[in-house]
Amino acid sequence: MTLSCIAASVRIGAKILLAESTVHLHPGRVTAIIGPNGAGKSTLLSLLGGQRRPTKGKVMLDDRPLEAYPPATLALRRALMPQESAVAFDFNAQEIVALGRFPHRLKASLDEDQIISGAMALTDVSPLAPRILNTLSGGEKARVHMARALAQLWHPRPDNATRWLLLDEPTAALDIAHQHAAMRLLRDWSAKGVGVVAVLHDLNLALRYADDVVVVRSGTAAIQGAAASVLQPELIECVWGTSCQAVAGRDGAVQYLFG
Ligand SMILES: Nc1ncnc2c1ncn2[C@@H]1O[C@H](COP(=O)(O)OP(=O)(O)OP(=O)(O)O)[C@@H](O)[C@H]1O
């Protein structure tokens, strides 16, 4: 019941986007993929989601190569929230969230409308339902796309197959309250058994909400482990080249000051 990348590399022409990377992800946990700009985080996420195939190595879901799954089956198991959030057509927000239900159309649930409105309520976009997506702000668009991904994975699979939520910088455009709300939501979904994998730049969000982190550095997944043990000031200073000081919040949670 894992999603794994094994010695996976991605190369385009002479450029190596990701080299020899091995990660093992577990359902029921929040894993943050972190690392500097251009390190290869989105590339790793796109491998795990099956949007891209490795040029070397393999990606396995439950001990089966990802490419062995028909796309329609994969779409019932994993949902993706990409970094780029504009769409080519003038869909409104509710129609975008409804797209998340497309993989279920052959065995539609009796409560399709409630699923769509429930997902929109979870990400606080219900009032935006009739608005054209491309007219929304960056943060509003991101929350609509998160609702679409949640709608796609709404019910447990009848065979209890694990579901995976893969998100590329889901909090990047969100205000501070929505950032924390989104991370709490991802934790809630992981508590239901969903595997949550999110590329994050905010190390404090990773520290507070992620169970595990994968540190991608210079084109390779260099370190994987429990967030609290990996995210130490010395490692942050070494990987990001910025000074890092630990402070304790009112609730005792450790957070970092940078620079
Ligand atoms: N199609 C492509 N052709 C050539 N190089 C590419 C291509 N796509 C990405 N790259 C390069 O591969 C490297 C890894 O890109 P990737 O998007 O995975 O980084 P990232 O860690 O997600 O970065 P960021 O934090 O800036 O989003 C970068 O140097 C990027 O410029």
Tally of residues, the chain? 259
Res 109: pLDDT? 77
Q: Taking a C-beta distance cutoff of 8 angstroms, is the pair 231, 209 a contact?
A: no
Q: Whose CA is nearest to atom 10 of ligand 1?
A: 17
Q: Report CA(222)–ligand 1 centroid distance (Å).
A: 16
190 lines ligand 1 (CB under 6 A): no
Q: Which atom of ligand 1 is nearest to the CA of 43?
A: 18
Q: Whose CA is nearest to atom 23 of ligand 1?
A: 38
Which domains are assigned to the chain? 3-230 (3.40.50.300)
**15-25 vs 3-12, strand pairing mode:** antiparallel
Exposed/middle/buried for residue 10 (C-beta within 10 Å: 0-12, 13-18, 19+): buried
25 pLDDT band (50/70/90 cuts)?
A: very high
CB atoms within 10 A of CB 184: 12
Work out the mean pLDDT of the chain and round it to a whole number. 95
What is the percent of the chain where pLDDT is above 90?
90
Of 58-67, 80-89, 118-127, 198-207, the range with the lowest mean pLDDT is 80-89
13 lines ligand 1 (CB under 6 A): no
Residue 55, SS3?
coil
Q: Whose CA is nearest to atom 16 of ligand 1?
A: 40
Res 149: pLDDT? 98
Res 225: pLDDT? 97
**Phi and psi torsions of 140, nearest 5°:** -65, -45
Whether ipTM exceeds 0.95: yes
**Cα of 236 vs its chain's centroid, Å:** 21
The 10s digit of each residue's pLDDT in 219-241 is: 999 999 999 999 999 999 999 99
37 lines ligand 1 (CB under 6 A): yes
38 lines ligand 1 (CB under 6 A): yes
Exposed/middle/buried for residue 14 (C-beta within 10 Å: 0-12, 13-18, 19+): exposed
**Phi and psi torsions of 106, nearest 5°:** -75, -25
**Phi and psi torsions of 220, nearest 5°:** -150, 145
Q: Which atom of ligand 1 is nearest to the CA of 216?
A: 21
42 lines ligand 1 (CB under 6 A): yes
249 pLDDT band (50/70/90 cuts)?
A: confident
Average pLDDT over residues 63-77: 95
Res 252: pLDDT? 87
Query: Considering just the CA atoms, what is the radius of gyration of the chain in Å?
Result: 18
41 pLDDT band (50/70/90 cuts)?
A: very high
Residue 15 structure tokens: 């450029």
Q: Report CA(22)–ligand 1 centroid distance (Å).
A: 18
31 lines ligand 1 (CB under 6 A): no
Res 33: pLDDT? 98
35 lines ligand 1 (CB under 6 A): yes
| Gap between the Cα atoms of 173 and 85, Å rounded | 11
| Gap between the Cα atoms of 241 and 247, Å rounded | 19
The 10s digit of each residue's pLDDT in 173-210 is: 999 999 999 999 999 999 999 999 999 999 999 999 99
Q: Which atom of ligand 1 is nearest to the CA of 199?
A: 22
Q: Whose CA is nearest to atom 18 of ligand 1?
A: 40
